[in-house]
Structure formats: structure tokens, C-alpha cells
Amino acid sequence: MDTPARDTGLIVLKWLVIALTATSTAGIATLVWLLATRLPQPLPPLPQGISLPAGETATAFTRGRGFVAVVTAGDEILIYDPSGATLRQRIPMTQSEPAP
């Protein structure tokens, strides 16, 4: 009885497919692990309200760790504590000259 000859190319292809499957599985497992362990913790809730100085109108708002910032129509950045109750700092914005 004749035994069929093994095709070396098919054996190599089989091991390449196995290696690719193992690599893909390890990559997906790594991504899931990174997402589960590295996602940022939720930020504290937004303040109920912020009292702006008289005559100021807010045009933008942002929150960072440990501060709340409000950009006003009067070209100022107002830095508040996280609760929005205490004004910590006023930063005037200046217009820079465009580069020639």
C-alpha cells in the first residue's frame, strides 16, 4: 500500500495558521486586559452652578483634576475649585500677533 507523500508547503502553512491564531488570540486578550485595567476612573459630578463675576458671560467650560475652568466673553479664564464655589485664579487672555 502506498502512503501519500507529505507536502512540505502544506505543513508549513498549517503551522503559520496556528501561529497566527495564537498571536491574534493573545493580542485580543491583551487589549481586553488593558481596557479593563487602564480606563480612567469616573470624575466627580459637575457643580450645580458657578457664580460668575458681575457682567461676565461664559463662552466655554472645562474640567480637570482638581479644578473647573470657565472662559468668559471678556477674554478671561476663571479657575474655580472642583465644586465651582470658590474662584481661585483669573487669567487674562492676550491676542498674539499672527506670524508673518
pLDDT in tens, 67-82: 999 999 988 999 999 8
Average pLDDT of the chain, as a whole number = 87
Q: Give the separation between CA 61 and CA 68, rounded to whole angstroms.
A: 8
> Which residue's entry shows cell 452652578?
49
With a cut of 80, say whether residue 4 has pLDDT above it.
no
Domain boundaries, the chain: 7-39, 44-94
**Residue 3 in this model has a pLDDT that exceeds 70:** no
Give the per-residue pLDDT at 97. Answer: 72
Of the candidates 90, 96, 65, the residue with the CA atom closest to the CA atom of residue 77: 90
Task: Output DSSP code: residue 16.
Answer: H
Around 7, how many Cα atoms within 13 Å sit in the side-chain half-sphere?
Answer: 4
Contact 47, 85 (CB under 8 A): yes
